[in-house]
């Protein structure tokens, strides 16, 4: 079973392949994942900061365009026009649309919520996919995994605490993000047998760019401050580097081994919120974050335990 990482950017996809990884390669893969989560935390923190200066839809379009452009320039040198070849253009379009709306929810959620809290809630997505896979794909799920899903939900409830000041209308954004991102990953599961992962990521980026362009006439307002332009470039640049690091990581180590390290992004997000916005989560919020991260990491360990033979890698 493939695993994944959740953030505001274009999704990474892996293709099943039976390979062996040396310990040194595995450590390199883990290092790449940690650096990637730092990139995504910087992306999210910068998104929240720039949302006070430019329309979010404009920032979202720039973020998609910069990543799609840079990624295409990087890979087309070795792939040529075959980089865009796909057997399922309709599925590619649907996949790109799902992630675009997921990113839209993420951008608006980050505008109104602290980065750390938002990241922790969004991090339950892999466990929610487990639930959705059971209902839509007929996959069998062990009782222990159901317990982890419920545990992650409990951790989320500790973070938002119904009846407290943390529980208000802005929670609709991370909840919609979880639904759209989970649907995105279920569709990805069906496509990885026939589609190239790099092509999927490139096309997803361009679909998001085109969808964002349709909304630009309603929000077009070019920034006049050079610091805003710098932040937009940082968003696109770190998103591109983060995805490249993930692709590198998945060629060095199994995705099932790497998944627990994705939850380090919660720590980076809290750090970014503290450094840039002077926000520190309260005691109970930190407890909830810990529960979500623990359940997610245990879910990844259970995946390794259940499936020791198939190991995921990316062909590039």
Is 111 exposed, middle or buried, given 0-12, 13-18 or 19+ CB atoms closer than 10 A?
middle
Q: What is the structure's pLDDT at 315?
A: 36
Domain spans, the chain: 15-313
Q: What is the structure's pLDDT at 142?
A: 72
| Full pLDDT tens readout for the chain, 316 residues | 333 444 444 444 444 444 455 667 778 888 888 898 899 889 989 988 888 888 889 999 998 999 899 889 988 988 888 889 888 899 999 999 998 999 999 999 888 888 888 888 887 777 777 677 666 666 666 777 777 777 877 877 777 676 565 567 788 898 899 889 888 877 877 787 788 878 888 998 999 999 999 998 888 888 888 898 999 999 988 988 888 887 788 777 766 677 677 778 888 888 888 888 788 778 888 888 888 888 877 776 776 666 553 433 333 3
Distance CA 9, CA 68 (A): 11
Q: What is the structure's pLDDT at 194?
A: 80
Structure tokens at 208: 């998001």
Is 314 exposed, middle or buried, given 0-12, 13-18 or 19+ CB atoms closer than 10 A?
buried
* Most distant CA pair in the chain, distance: 56
Q: What is the structure's pLDDT at 35?
A: 92
Distance CA 104, CA 55 (A): 12
**Helix or strand or coil: residue 142?**
coil
Other beta carbons less than 10 A from residue 249's beta carbon: 28
Distance CA 252, CA 211 (A): 34
| Of 272, 244, 8, the residue nearest 116 (C-alpha) | 272
Distance CA 212, CA 199 (A): 20
């Amino acid at each position: 079973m493939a695993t994944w990482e959740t953030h505001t950017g274009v999704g990474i996809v892996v293709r099943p392949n039976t390979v062996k990884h040396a310990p040194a390669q595995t450590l390199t893969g883990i290092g790449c994942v940690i650096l990637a989560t730092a990139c995504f935390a910087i992306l999210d923190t910068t998104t929240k900061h720039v949302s006070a200066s430019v329309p979010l839809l404009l920032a979202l379009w720039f973020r998609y365009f910069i990543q799609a452009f840079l990624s295409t320039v990087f890979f087309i040198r070795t792939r040529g026009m075959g980089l865009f070849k796909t057997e399922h253009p309709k599925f590619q379009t649907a996949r790109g649309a799902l992630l675009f709306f997921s990113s839209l929810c993420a951008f608006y959620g980050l505008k109104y919520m602290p980065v750390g809290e938002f990241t922790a809630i969004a991090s339950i997505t892999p466990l929610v996919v487990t639930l959705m896979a059971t209902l839509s794909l007929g996959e069998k799920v062990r009782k222990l995994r159901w317990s982890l899903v419920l545990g992650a939900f409990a951790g989320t409830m500790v973070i938002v605490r119904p009846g407290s000041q943390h529980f208000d209308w802005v929670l609709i954004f991370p909840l919609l993000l979880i639904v759209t991102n989970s649907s995105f990953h279920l569709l990805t599961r069906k496509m990885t047998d026939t589609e190239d992962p790099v092509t999927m990521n490139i096309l997803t980026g361009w679909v998001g760019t085109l969808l964002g362009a349709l909304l630009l006439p309603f929000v077009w307002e070019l920034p006049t401050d050079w610091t805003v332009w710098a932040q937009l470039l940082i968003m696109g640049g770190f998103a591109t580097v983060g995805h490249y690091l993930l692709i590198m990581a998945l060629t060095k180590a199994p995705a099932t081994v790497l998944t627990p390290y994705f939850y380090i992004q919660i720590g980076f997000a809290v750090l970014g919120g503290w450094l840039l916005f002077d926000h520190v989560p309260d005691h109970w919020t930190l407890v909830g974050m810990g529960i979500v991260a623990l359940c997610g990491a245990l879910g990844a360990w259970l995946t390794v335990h259940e499936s020791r033979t198939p190991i995921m890698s990316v062909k590039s």
